[in-house]
Amino acid sequence: MARIRVTAGTRYTYQDQIYVIRDVLGDSCYKVQQAGSGQETVISYEEIFKAWEAGLLRFEVVRQKARQRTQISIKTVGEDLADLPEGVRQETWRRYQLVLDVLQFYAIESVRLLPRRDIETYIKEKEALVGQKTSSVVILSSAKSIERYMQALVDSGGDIRSLVPQTSQRGGKGQTRMDEAIERILQAVLANYASITERESSVDQIMTDVLNAVADENRFREPPDRLTPPSESTLRRRIKAAGEQRILGRQLSRREQKVQAVVQSGIRPSRILERVEIDHTTLDLFVVDEQDGLPIGRPTITACIDKYSALVPGWHIGFQQGGYESVMLCLCHAILPKPNYQERYHTEHDYPVYGLFEKLCIDHGPDFKSVALKDALAELGIIREEMPKETPWFKGSIERYFRSVNQRLLKGKPGYTFGNTMHLGDYDAQKDAVISLSAFLEMFHIFMVDIYPYTWHEGLEAIPMQRWQESRQLFKPDLFEDANALRLVLLPSAERVLQPRGIEWEHIFYRGPELARLRELHGKEKVRFKYDPDDLDVVYVRDRTSATGWLEFRSTNPDYTRGLSLAKHHVIRQYVSEQKQAVDSFSLARAKAHIQQVIEREFLTTTKLRRRSKLKSLLQLEPPSVRDTKPKRARVKPIEPTDSEEDLPQDMAGWSGDYGLPITRGEKQ
């Protein structure tokens, strides 16, 4: 999978035919030629975009590590970052970070190829800097290698998998190489000395540590397999390549670096989606339940904002604190085209804001630093930039947006609570709350589509939507190789061993037509699969030999899992465990109906806000999964009291606490 910029020479498949864009015309049109017949036609960017959005069009990836997956001559990326061995994965990240370090040295925000003389200057500057730690990367690559890494990233649209070492293709009679275990020891020792801030070091000290590490490794090896330590001359060459001052000289501490740092002006992007900021916040408004009018709680919003235009490409709203799920849904909403808000919420405008970002700016929250998010962004070709600690002004745009929502949309509305509790006085926001969840979502989307984009922005000195459209004429948003694959990249993953009954995960079995072949291929090895936390009906099993790289395995009990969220499933399992019943399909179904009855009864009788907020996230809803682009209104029906367990309803509709996706105002209840 890869970032694609639609331009002359771009190839794609549509209805099993290959097409090539021959020329870029005016008015966002392209001259396209069918590869087989040579027939030419003129189509618009919107036609290409709509076919891509529907999953009917797939772009070709032209690069060294691409492979052919179908009978027609179109190549796509095959490797998945999480499938790589740990050593190869670490080397891939080292190369990626090294390229980013060179670009940051020249204050370049996007991936591009630099002249070799600039790379050589960077290496010399790193070696010449005295007593200043400017990078966490140990330079163990030549200027030629760094140039090659840059070229690979440029060709791939920033996809980290273009830097995967092709060790299987290495060889050559008479070539000498350092043992892989010795290489790892050297890397670890040099990285350790590069991080020392308290003292100067010597080659003798480093050599001693290397010898001790080799001796420790040899204790677990038979005599024929024992490692030979590197010579002192080899070590000196490695130290010189990594930068003698960085390895041997005393480095400045973080406090010293902060004192000596030069304050610079904020980064000013030159185009849309060059720099995007993301964060969570809890809004200053209590919303109420539509049935009884009692308060549910304050919604939490996860949003990302385009630094150049100040528009918000994506958002997600819920009642749980932000986590990877919220981030994933926000990014998916941001990158993919938006639904028809004019039809759904009767807005005056549509919202043509979408596309892959070049850089995503995050803070130090654990949900933004997860391995899954890190891998997903690298596969999408999005650079992940962590903001320095204790510097909230580095993400001023997203903070300013949250303030706009609270002050311009919510302030003065019934149920509004001041951010500063000292301003509340005798005002009770919970008792004054009258705005229902569906009404809030309608208000929010009208504000996001009709008001915020067309209001004068003092910081930009422009109207956000006009600024977006002007830049969009020059810079069409980058698309992804495959729209369906994009959704899949952002899903979380797990690993299990294939059993005769299929994959057992969370006490649910999943099977697919290719089960027997995969069991024969993998044996007792674990296979990786991805799942949608909002819909446990299907998982996607990794299979490098398939056309898409993933196979669908469906639940063996679809009546139970259809639309079931992972959070709700955990509640049901806990209930079954407490009742000391065997975890099987029938007990889970009975438990699901029983818990739903208890939750709805409690929700209608309790008045405690915190408890109602928690119960609201467990009410029986029908939310769309990541794959669903036409969500429906939530349906909550009271359940009449029953006298026996056999009379419990067997409704298998989905349960979820996700309120982040729109609700159709005109749908029948």
pLDDT surpasses 60 at 162: yes
**Averaged over 120-143, what is the pLDDT?**
67
170 CB-near residues (< 8 Å, 6+ apart): none
Q: Name residue 517's amino acid.
A: R
When comparing pLDDT for 658 and 489, which is higher?
Answer: 489
Position 563 confidence tier, pLDDT thresholds 50, 70, 90: confident
Q: Which domains does the chain have, with CATH numbers?
A: 3-78 (2.30.30), 82-166+179-258 (no CATH), 276-485 (3.30.420.10), 492-556 (no CATH), 566-647 (no CATH)
Beta-carbon-side half-sphere exposure of residue 362 (alpha carbons within 13 Å): 21
Position 667 confidence tier, pLDDT thresholds 50, 70, 90: very low
**Residue in 229, 180, 178 with CA at minimum distance from that of residue 206:** 229
Identify the pLDDT of residue 73.
42
**Averaged over 614-634, what is the pLDDT?**
48
3 state SS of 532: strand
- What average pLDDT does the structure give for the chain? 77
Identify the pLDDT of residue 354.
93
Of the listed ranges 83-97, 463-477, 593-607, the one predicted with least confidence:
593-607
What tokens were used for 123?
């290496």
pTM score, whole prediction: 0.61
Identify the pLDDT of residue 8.
80
pLDDT surpasses 90 at 262: no
DSSP assignment string, 184-237: HHHHHHHHHHHT--SS---HHHHHHHHHHHHHHHHTTS-GGGPPPPPPHHHHHH
Identify the pLDDT of residue 255.
61
pLDDT surpasses 80 at 128: no
523-532 pLDDT per residue, tens = 889 999 999 8
**Averaged over 150-179, what is the pLDDT?**
70
Position 496 confidence tier, pLDDT thresholds 50, 70, 90: very high
Position 424 confidence tier, pLDDT thresholds 50, 70, 90: very low
Identify the pLDDT of residue 469.
92
147 within 8 A of 119, measured Cβ to Cβ: yes
Identify the pLDDT of residue 24.
84
Identify the pLDDT of residue 304.
94
pLDDT surpasses 70 at 242: yes
298-349 pLDDT per residue, tens = 888 999 999 999 999 999 887 777 778 889 889 999 999 998 999 988 899 9
pLDDT surpasses 50 at 37: yes
**Pairing mode of beta strands 57-59, 276-282:** unpaired
CA gyration radius, the chain: 28
Identify the pLDDT of residue 130.
46
Instruction: Give the integer Cα–Cα distance in Å for 245 and 333.
Output: 46
625-649 pLDDT per residue, tens = 444 444 444 343 443 444 444 443 4
Identify the pLDDT of residue 607.
61
**Residue in 241, 239, 235, 233 with CA at minimum distance from that of residue 141:** 241
